[in-house]
Amino acid sequence: MSERLNVIVVMSDTLRADYLGCYGNKTIRTPNIDRFAAGAAVFDEAYPESLPTIPVRRALHTGRRAYPFNDYRPVPWDIVYLPGWQPMADGESTLAEDLVRAGYHTGFVTDTLPYFAPAMNFTRGFWQWEYIRGQQQDRWRSVHAADAGRCSRIRGADGPNPYNMPRYHVANTDGLEAPEDTCTARTFKWAMRFLEDNAAVPFYLLVDCFDPHEPWHAPQKYYRMYADGRYDGQAIIHSAYARDLAGLTEAQLADMVAHYCGLVTMVDEWFGRLLARLDKLDLARRTVVIFTSDHGTNFGDNLWRVVGKPGWALLPGTMRLPLIARAADGRAAGERIAGLRYNLDITAAVYDAAGAAPSQPIDGRSLLAPMAGDHGGDREYLTSRYGNTVWYRDERWWAFGDVSGAERHVFDLKADPDMRNDVGQSAADAWRLAFGRILADAGGSLPDYSKAKRTDAIGQKPAP
């Protein structure tokens, strides 16, 4: 039996930090994540170094910044076309490849559809990997065979164009609506089998779960925990990303949030099962476990009443990440750790825990250092990019604007911690500091893709 540390990283897509009990939520049921957090270190200020889905994964798999998207090259026949949404560079080494060289068995399971696009190549370095089919608009089952009755109950699934997320969701989940059959369940079942098969060797396991990302359509078991039973309209499983509640009524929004909360609780249940299997196999005492998300989303709970995660509104609902790390030796158990962190600090922590050296320079700073009380590597500020919007945060200022620097939004976190007052037009010095650091981190200039063609391989407008 090897005594080298195992490492498990669990990513839950679009999971807001403030929708977890351990981050202060009093309503949503997340008992397993909260119990895990009580024996782990909870990082209070973690953010994506770039986003959305694929840029985050590029950083996670390599430990290197995707920001500022200097080399954007779209992938044909993809579902999203945004700066930075592309495969890892062929010349980059990956964390998994380096761990294989260090003697680790590596595994990767995901139901996150953007990984599946042609030529994305994120499976590099994994001895075992599995794509769980059926999420989002996965081109898996025929939309022309989708159940008409179910389509009629979901907005957009009964429209004239069948090639959309709602219709694909119906087709892909026909006959697979029970909680045990969901993509989340199948993802975590594969992960649990991986633990059983590899309990005797040092391993690295990446579990990348797409829920609670859209489509927000929770199984009834979970939906009923949060719905008041009065809404009788079509389920809205994916709304426009827009201000002023995206045109939704309060009842429609509440129902959509009920589905989202149900998916959060479903993820919590299956994460708890994974931890229970780890305990049953007596692996917890020599396994580092890290739980996080890639970004969050908004439900009108902000000054502009934005719904979704549009790139032009980099507000806390989108930007703040849950980040919880449990060390095998129990260090920092139950502690709240302050300080600005990037998600790619997870990758550095995996190298650290495994005692492996990256084969190329990485930009992350190991989470294990502050967990041991060493804050020498804490950052003064953070920068990020989503589409053609850039973002900055330090201890006082939260700012974002377009890549030209002309459009800007600035919030004084000391005077306005809830970010209800945009002082972008009056806080010129704060924006000058922020944009100067944004440019410095980008190497002096930002590539501008605002005029880039944004249609997919068959001429349709891409998904947001």
- Residue that has been written with the tokens 């200039």 in this structure: 445
Task: Tell whether 130 and 72 lie within a shared domain.
Answer: yes
**222-259 pLDDT, tens per residue?**
999 999 999 999 999 999 999 999 999 999 999 999 99
**102-112 pLDDT, tens per residue?**
999 999 999 99
Q: Report if residue 11 sits inside a domain.
A: yes
Helix H, strand E, coil C: the string for 186-208 is: HHHHHHHHHHHHCCCCCEEEEEE
Asked if residue 2 has pLDDT above 90, the reply is no
Asked if residue 457 has pLDDT above 50, the reply is no
> Helix, strand, or coil here: 294?
coil
Does the N-terminal peptide bond of residue 212 adopt cis geometry, omega within 30 degrees of 0?
yes
Asked if residue 458 has pLDDT above 50, the reply is no
Residues of the chain with pLDDT > 90, as a percent, come to 92
Distance, first Cα to last Cα, the chain: 47
**139-155 pLDDT, tens per residue?**
999 999 999 999 999 99
Q: Report if residue 126 sits inside a domain.
A: yes
Task: Tell whether 225 and 295 lie within a shared domain.
Answer: yes
Q: Own/partner pairs for 137-143, CB < 8 Å, 24+ apart? A: 137/79, 137/113, 137/163, 137/164, 137/165, 137/168, 137/169, 137/463, 138/113, 138/168, 138/172, 139/168, 140/168, 140/171, 140/172, 141/168, 141/171, 141/172, 141/174, 142/171, 143/167, 143/168, 143/171
Task: Tell whether 365 and 425 lie within a shared domain.
Answer: no
**360-389 pLDDT, tens per residue?**
999 999 999 999 999 998 999 999 999 999
**16-59 pLDDT, tens per residue?**
999 999 999 999 999 999 999 999 999 999 999 999 999 999 99
Q: Where a domain ends, among 380, 406, 422? A: 380
**110-125 pLDDT, tens per residue?**
999 999 998 899 999 9
Measured in degrees and rounded to the nearest 5, phi and psi for residue 410 equal: -135, 140
**388-421 pLDDT, tens per residue?**
999 999 999 999 999 999 999 999 999 999 999 9
- Containing structural domain, residue 26: 6-380
Q: Report if residue 13 sits inside a domain.
A: yes
Task: Tell whether 264 and 398 lie within a shared domain.
Answer: no
Task: Tell whether 198 and 251 lie within a shared domain.
Answer: yes
Q: Report if residue 455 sits inside a domain.
A: no
What was the pLDDT predicted at 1?
38
pLDDT band at 450 (very low <50, low <70, confident <90, very high): confident
Q: Report if residue 460 sits inside a domain.
A: no
What was the pLDDT predicted at 464?
37
> Helix, strand, or coil here: 395?
coil
Q: Report if residue 20 sits inside a domain.
A: yes
Task: Tell whether 99 and 208 lie within a shared domain.
Answer: yes
What was the pLDDT predicted at 453?
62
What was the pLDDT predicted at 81?
93
**What CATH number did the domain enclosing 344 receive?**
3.40.720.10
Asked if residue 463 has pLDDT above 60, the reply is no
Task: Tell whether 86 and 216 lie within a shared domain.
Answer: yes
Strands ordered across the beta sheet of 128-131: 128-131, 105-110, 203-209, 6-12, 287-292, 321-326, 41-47, 336-342
44 CB neighbour count, 10 Å cutoff: 15
Task: Tell whether 427 and 317 lie within a shared domain.
Answer: no
Identify the residue with better confidence: 88 or 419.
419
pLDDT band at 70 (very low <50, low <70, confident <90, very high): very high
Task: Tell whether 273 and 410 lie within a shared domain.
Answer: no
State how many domains the chain has.
Answer: 2
- Kindly give the residue spans of alpha helices, DSSP state H, lying in 236-289: 250-280
Q: What is the mean pLDDT of residues 164-173?
A: 96
Asked if residue 456 has pLDDT above 80, the reply is no
